Amino acid sequence: MVSVPAMRHRRGDRHVYRNIAGEHLLIATRGDSEAPMFALTPSGALLWTHLADWTTQEQLVELVLEQYEVTADRATADVEEFLEQLRQLRALESEDGE
């Protein structure tokens, strides 16, 4: 059986993160974004921080499990949803892992 490398992800350069008055925000740096500003939950801000370097979905799920009292299924669903939202915003880069 052939092992398939996991997809790796990192945040792109089209958005900057700001914490303004306790609000976690992604602010678009280019005019072609779906939304000029996107609010993050605290868990989303945690994931965004870890997306500074290439990481896998599995690593992000582990991070959520370490930080929050949730099931593995819930953590996986939340990370998948977050990554999809970032894709739609064009705020995520992805590549096949090595």
Residue 77 belongs to some domain of the structure: yes
Residue 24 belongs to some domain of the structure: yes
The CA-based angle 79-82-86, given to 5 degrees, is: 135
Looking at residue 4, what is its pLDDT?
53
- How many residues belong to the chain? 98
Strands 55-56 and 7-11 turn out to be antiparallel
Residue 96 belongs to some domain of the structure: no
Looking at residue 16, what is its pLDDT?
94
* Range(s) of the domain holding residue 46: 7-91
Cα separation values, 87 from 17, 69, 70, 71, 93, Å: 16, 26, 24, 24, 8
The CATH code of the domain that includes 16 is 3.90.930
* CA terminus-to-terminus distance, the chain: 17
On whether the CB atoms of residues 40 and 25 are closer than 8 A, the answer is yes
Looking at residue 80, what is its pLDDT?
97
Q: How many domains does the chain have?
A: 1
Question: In this structure, what are the phi and psi dihedrals at residue 82, rounded to the nearest 5 degrees?
Answer: -65, -45
Question: pLDDT 10s per residue in the chain (98 long)?
Answer: 545 568 999 999 999 999 999 999 999 998 777 778 999 999 999 999 999 999 999 999 999 999 999 999 999 999 999 999 999 999 999 998 76
